[in-house]
């Protein structure tokens, strides 16, 4: 459900225009690497790049064990814009620090290796696994989608950065479908979603977002109710063109 423009949720600021030079710089990185961006209309690409440019001005990138480069900063930020593309609030002001590691990594006190996680200190991503997520299509595993889904959820349940009430209202419907999907997976000994989705509700959300963007047609065919709810939570459908379901008061 989308509220009337300007009802309770204020759009994050975005420049009305950017220069062709800036647009082409981003476009040259996004076109070969982000399938979602390639499918956007010209109007959507313009809005996407303007949002991306605004977001990157607010981020601090930390490269741990690897050389800093522009590609990872743009692409990690672009996935944030992709997931939040239907939302008015897309800046994620709580998560200003992004940590990029070359490969899987250990956390203090944890035995297993991590390929990404979200903490109060920031968002952590293994660059190798970020790239693998987009290199292998339709497997439902993309660490960038997974971790940024966690970040967007967290962002909208803390008061200090401002809550997107449209997101919150639609998100409240998700727990009602978690139980039936879990029960069906137990009964049938299989599930369209990978098993990690059933660790807890928060992982169900993050894994569902992975599948929603990686294989939207597969989700619609196998879990149509989940696909519908996620489309409403994120106010977009990757199967559509244009992708955003209802427009906000932000002018493209």
Q: Could you state, in order of their start, the residue ranges of all structural domains in the chain?
A: 20-234
In terms of C-beta density within 10 A (0-12 exposed, 13-18 middle, 19 or more buried), how is residue 104 classed? middle
Quote the mean pLDDT of the chain: 89
Which tokens go with 240? 């559509």
Confidence at 251, pLDDT banded by 50, 70, 90: very low
Half-sphere exposure of 2 (CA within 13 A, CB side): 18
Closest by CA to 96, choosing from 111, 114, 118, is 118
Q: Which fold has domain 20-234?
A: Cyclin A; domain 1 (1.10.472)
106 strand-pairing partners: 113
**Contacts of residue 28, Cβ cutoff 8 Å, sequence gap at least 6:** none
Average pLDDT of span 27-55 = 96
pLDDT tens for 138-183 read 776 899 999 999 999 998 887 666 678 889 999 999 998 888 888 8
How far is it, in rounded angstroms, from Cα 75 to Cα 69? 11
pLDDT at position 241 over 80: yes
- pTM of the predicted model over 0.85: yes
């Amino acid at each position: 459900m989308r509220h009337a423009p300007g009802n309770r949720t204020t759009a994050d600021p975005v420049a009305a225009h950017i220069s062709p030079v800036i647009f082409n710089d981003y476009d040259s990185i996004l076109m070969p690497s982000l399938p979602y961006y390639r499918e956007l209309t010209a109007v959507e690409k313009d809005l996407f790049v303007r949002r991306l440019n605004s977001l990157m001005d607010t981020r601090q990138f930390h490269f741990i064990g690897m050389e800093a480069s522009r590609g990872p900063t743009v692409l990690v930020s672009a996935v944030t814009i992709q997931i939040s593309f239907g939302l008015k609030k897309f800046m994620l002001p709580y998560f200003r620090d992004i940590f990029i590691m070359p490969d899987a990594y250990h956390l203090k006190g944890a035995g297993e290796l991590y390929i990404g996680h979200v903490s109060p200190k920031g968002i952590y991503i293994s660059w190798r696994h970020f790239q693998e997520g987009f290199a292998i299509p339709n497997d439902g595993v993309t660490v960038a989608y997974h971790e940024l889904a966690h970040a967007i959820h967290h962002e909208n349940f803390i008061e200090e950065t401002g809550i997107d009430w449209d997101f919150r209202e639609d998100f409240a419907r998700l727990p009602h479908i978690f139980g039936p999907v879990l029960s069906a997976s137990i009964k049938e000994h299989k599930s369209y979603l990978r098993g990690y989705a059933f660790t807890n509700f928060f992982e169900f959300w993050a894994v569902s977002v992975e599948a929603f963007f990686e294989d939207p047609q597969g989700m619609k065919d196998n879990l149509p109710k989940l696909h519908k709810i996620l489309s409403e939570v994120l106010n977009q459908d990757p199967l559509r063109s244009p992708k955003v379901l209802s427009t906000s008061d932000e002018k493209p």
